[in-house]
């Protein structure tokens, strides 16, 4: 059962299960977005880069973050819209990395003119299996009260 506006409190923290990045994830994301940058999809090209191997697309982390949070049944059925997102990328996501999200409620804001909805803002860290942050950011959703 999804959470609603009144179920969230500032400082509340949620941790998702882990998920391993696969080659299929990268190829699928490239196909959906049309982003076939060789740093993601060409092993020989990527081997010659400073990272030395193919890496996942940065925006893929954002989508995976929401997917992993949905596994906690936080938002499915209660979120009405994604209002904003601000994201930074700290380290590459490599094929074989297992990532998870730790999200902390930064603000819970009732709507000024209707009691039917409000906003929840969360700070989120996307961590790999070594607890190294690969990306992090803040997002706000519009959610049912």
- Residue by residue, pLDDT tens for the chain (145 residues) are 899 999 999 999 999 999 999 999 999 999 999 999 999 999 999 999 999 999 999 999 999 999 999 999 999 999 999 999 999 999 999 999 999 999 999 999 999 898 999 999 999 999 999 999 999 999 999 999 9
pLDDT at 58: 95
SS3 127: strand
Rounded to whole angstroms, how far apart are CA atoms 3 and 6?
8
pLDDT at 30: 98
Rounded to whole angstroms, how far apart are CA atoms 7 and 70?
16
Is the CB of residue 98 less than 8 Å from the CB of residue 19? yes
pLDDT at 145: 95
Helix axes of 23-33 and 58-70: crossing angle, nearest 10 degrees: 110
pLDDT at 112: 86
pLDDT at 4: 95
Of residues 125, 129, 130, the one with CA closest to residue 139: 125
pLDDT at 6: 95
Angstrom distances, CA of residue 108 to CA of 10, 117, 128 = 7, 11, 28
């Amino acid at each position: 059962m999804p959470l609603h506006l009144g179920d969230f409190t500032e400082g509340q923290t949620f941790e998702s299960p882990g998920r391993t990045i696969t080659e299929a994830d990268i190829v699928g994301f490239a196909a959906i977005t049309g982003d076939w940058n060789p740093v993601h999809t060409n092993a020989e090209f990527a081997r010659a880069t400073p990272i030395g191997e193919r890496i996942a697309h940065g925006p893929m982390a954002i989508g995976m973050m929401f997917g992993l949070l949905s596994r906690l049944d936080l938002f499915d059925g209660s979120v009405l819209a994604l209002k904003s997102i601000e994201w930074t990328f700290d380290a590459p996501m490599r094929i074989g990395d297992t990532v998870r999200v730790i999200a902390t409620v930064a603000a819970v804001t009732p709507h000024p003119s209707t009691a039917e909805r409000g906003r929840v803002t969360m700070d989120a860290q996307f961590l790999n299996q070594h607890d190294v942050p690969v990306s992090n950011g803040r997002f706000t959703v519009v959610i049912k009260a």
